[in-house]
Amino acid sequence: MTILANATLVLPDETLRGSLRLDGGRIAAIDQGSSVPLGAEDCEGDLVMPGLIELHTDNLERHLQPRPKVDWPHQAAILAHDAELAGVGITTVFDALRVGSVVSNNKTGYSEYARAVASEILDLRRQGALRVSHFLHLRAEVCSETLVEEMAKFGPEDRIGIVSLMDHTPGQRQFRDISKLRDYVMGKRGMSEEDFAAHVAGQQALRARFGDLHEKAAVSEGRRYGAVLASHDDTTAEQVAVSKALGVSFAEFPTTVEAARACRAEGVQVMMGAPNVIRGGSHSGNVSAEELARLDLLDILSSDYVPSSLLTAALHLGDLWGDMARGIATVTRAPAEATGLHDRGRLEIGARADLVRVRRIGRSGGLRGTWVQGKRVG
């Protein structure tokens, strides 16, 4: 049994000074007051909140390929990724893996990897080697050649919680401004201007040939897995309407206010990137997450490519809204509800004892402890 006392508890709708008793991997009691019972951990007024829930992170890919053309041993990469998440307060993660490869042009860098990596994640989980709770998020890239074949290799037993419909066709959605795509792709893959022009033409041709087929297949496979469907980079109200008709329940990184407003009207939750909040804008030149927050059009945050950004951005939203419980909900309760994880994301009796202790340091927060099912892991 563990008692965290004299804490500022971030409850679903308020914060208050109190204590938590953890027993059997669950929250067994919540008491109000600043007393510190014998044997309890004195949190000295620090925030104690549910463990953070990450729905879309590319962090594992960074560990798998720390430099261009440098492939790291998968098991070591997964374990390092897992430890990093525990160290920044993330207790549940949906590891984002791309499905859909381009096999006719080896300069794209889009080779198949998802099934092999997923099997290794699941094997490490079965061994009890991972600190935090891992699910899979398949990023279904419609601009590819092998999406159908790759998705057929997965099934309901693979802990796939999310399938997102990804369309990175140059000239629309995230990369309406092709100059932004040029900077990103040429910088990341060292392409020449000639290579980049061929890349753009090739991706546009793949979308024309396979896009509709792949979108339909991804939706069908997502339902077979029992996964939640997400859209990606919706830009217009028309695109949001199509997403809603396909059964999408949340939108990843809509690129305009128009799209975010359409999501709200359609009952589709809006997820934005925590780095966008911290940087004050999108690195792709799209809508500011803070602008959406001020317009009451932001529901969920994702760390995207910087795991440590999730906590800091949630604290920032709490300050912006003048409601810390609401800010923290964007990284706890809201992502839990969006993916049907009703056993976590809240400080309430009976919930999983997935918790973090945080001390405010300016606009940021210093992590003082991470617990998963009542066991300290960071």
18-70: pLDDT as tens digits? 999 999 999 999 999 999 999 999 999 999 999 999 999 999 999 999 988 88
Q: Where are the domains of the chain?
A: 50-337
CA separation for the pair 58, 55 (Å, rounded): 10
pLDDT digits 0-9 by tens, 188-235: 555 666 766 666 666 767 776 777 889 999 999 999 999 999 999 999
- Average pLDDT of the segment spanning 301-311: 96
CA separation for the pair 368, 378 (Å, rounded): 8
Collapsing DSSP states into helix, strand and coil, what is residue 258?
Answer: helix
Q: Are 330 and 317 in contact (CB under 8 A)?
A: yes
CA separation for the pair 182, 186 (Å, rounded): 6
Q: What angle do CA 226, 350, 373 make, to 5 degrees?
A: 75
Q: Are 49 and 358 in contact (CB under 8 A)?
A: yes
pTM of the model: 0.90
Where residue 171 falls (left for φ over 0; alpha for ψ -120 to 50; beta otherwise) is left
Residue linked to tokens 């945080």: 358
Q: Are 259 and 250 in contact (CB under 8 A)?
A: no
Least confident of 30-34, 71-75, 180-184: 180-184
Q: Are 249 and 230 in contact (CB under 8 A)?
A: yes
Name the residue among 224, 220, 221, 266 with its Cα closest to residue 245.
Answer: 266
CATH fit for domain 50-337, picks 3.20.20.140, 2.30.31.70, 3.10.450.50, 1.20.1260.10: 3.20.20.140
Strand partners, 67: 70
